[in-house]
Amino acid sequence: MTEQELTNELSALKEQFDKVFSILDASQTQSDVKAVSKAYSELKTYVVEYSSELDKLQKSGQLTELQSAILLPAINEVALHCRAPKNSTSKEELSSSLYDGSDYLVHYMSQLNT
Per the domain annotation, does 114 fall within a domain? no
Contact between residue 54 and residue 36 where contact means Cβ atoms under 8 Å apart: no
Query: Whole domain around residue 60: which residue ranges?
Result: 3-109
Per-position pLDDT tens, the chain of length 114: 899 999 999 999 999 999 999 999 999 888 889 999 999 999 999 999 999 999 999 999 999 999 999 999 999 999 999 999 999 999 999 999 999 999 999 999 999 875
Question: Cα separation of 61 and 72, whole Å?
Answer: 13
Task: Note the pTM of the prediction, 2 decimals.
Answer: 0.92
Closest of 98, 83, 91, 86 to residue 30, by C-alpha: 91
Express each pLDDT in 59-71 by its tens digit: 999 999 999 999 9
State the total domains in the chain. Answer: 1
At residue 69, what are phi and psi to the nearest 5 degrees?
-80, -30
**Long-range Cβ contacts of 66-69 (<8 Å, 24+ apart):** 66/1, 66/2, 66/3, 66/6, 67/1, 67/6
